[in-house]
Amino acid sequence: MKKKRKNSKQFNRKFKKRFFTRKSVTVLVAAFIIMIAVGVGCNQQRKRAENYQKTIDELNTEIKDLKDTNEALESEKNNLDTDEFKEKMARERFGMIGKDEYSLEESDQEVPETAPEESEKNENND
């Protein structure tokens, strides 16, 4: 049994000498550095991908809003030639009213405090 122990010790020494040469240590250190670099690079790529996805989502939302606006403008464009639209614009922009309608807006002119008929009566009595 002593030979086996001696052989195993010799094997361990030989293995250590062969395995831990300068070349093998250099290769191990280089592999470790490469693994760290790949890990850092993957993390940076993941962050970029998240930023790009966020930008894509924002742009998709903006596209949807612009499509909705475009549809509303297209609908308004199609309604420009209708009589209802022309009447609405005349009422809103120019303050026009229909033939049989009365405006309830206040006038800019001053209204006398007494009616003209009352003022005539007062003049005749004097």
User: Cα Rg for the chain, rounded, in angstroms?
Assistant: 47
**Complete DSSP assignment for 15-68:** HHHHHTSHHHHHHHHHHHHHHHHHHHHHHHHHHHHHHHHHHHHHHHHHHHHHHH
Q: Which residue has the higher pLDDT, 34 or 125?
A: 34
* pLDDT value for 1: 45
pLDDT band at 110 (very low <50, low <70, confident <90, very high): low
Helix (H, G, I), strand (E, B) or coil at 94: helix
Q: With a cut of 50, say whether residue 2 has pLDDT above it.
A: no
The verdict on pTM exceeding 0.85 is no
Q: Give tens-digit pLDDT for 20-78.
A: 677 878 888 999 999 999 999 999 999 999 999 999 999 999 999 999 999 999 988 88
